A = this chain, B = another copy of it.
Amino acid sequence: MGNMKVHQLARGFWEHEPSLSLGCKRLRPLAPKLQQHTSSTDTVSSFDLKSFIRPESGPRKLGPSDQKRDSPQVETHPGGTRWNPTQEQIGILEMLYRGGMRTPNAQQIEKITAQLGQYGKIEGKNVFYWFQNHKARERQKMKRNSLGLTDCPRNSPPITTITLETRMEIMERSDEDSPYKRKCKSWSFEYLDEQSISPCKEQENRTLELFPLHPEGR
């Protein structure tokens, strides 16, 4: 448990365009989820936790020098730091997942992102992460369920429900664009977040990583 890591605040500025969204989503099914929730009885003695929790409207960052230019239309939406998918986006993603898509490659992500971008702000990484997380969590869920149920053959997901033709060759030749033959991902380090910065005062829960000294290089 000596593992320490660095935490950084991630404060991107991908704001989410609150445009269309259907009724609701993100239901909270009250799933029986175990949760530690320890130290609840610790009696924090009514400290002003609020200052710790969720600064909300205010102490967000505040570079005295760098004041955000109040862009008239893109106001910094004080909370929008992470992607918040719309119903349509989720629907499409789920459809794709059910269709069998597991880890889209760069091209696919590009397309998907472009498509989903019509329903809200989104970036490629959001798509990638979604698939990663969804896959992992479906697996967890299954595993949890399998405990209670002994058998549960878990027949394959109905991949047939989707009516789009999945004709796509299994190709692998990334001929023109990528230098590598096999699985090459498109990596590029392009833009970096121009978003302004938040002062370092948020050191609070950041831990520096101390990496053990390695005796020797190699």
Contacts and interface: CB of A to CB of B under 8 A. Distances in A.
A91 B43 contact: yes
Interface string A1-45: 111101111111010001111111111110101111100101110
A20 B179 contact: no
A150 interface: no
Contacts of A28: 21, 23-24
Contact residue range for chain A?
A: 35 or more
A57 B159 contact: yes
A201 to B, nearest CB: 7
Q: Is the interface of A mostly helix, strand, loop or mixed?
A: loop
Contacts of A113: 189
Given A33-B24, A55-B167, A102-B209, A92 B47 contact: yes
A29 B25 CA distance: 11
Interface centre among A8, A25, A77, A199 (most CB of B within 10 A): A8
30 contacts: A3-B216, A6-B102, A6-B197, A12-B167, A14-B111, A19-B26, A20-B24, A20-B27, A20-B118, A21-B28, A23-B31, A24-B34, A40-B94, A43-B91, A49-B115, A49-B164, A50-B166, A53-B164, A54-B102, A55-B169, A63-B179, A71-B172, A107-B189, A125-B187, A156-B216, A180-B197, A184-B193, A187-B192, A208-B210, A212-B214
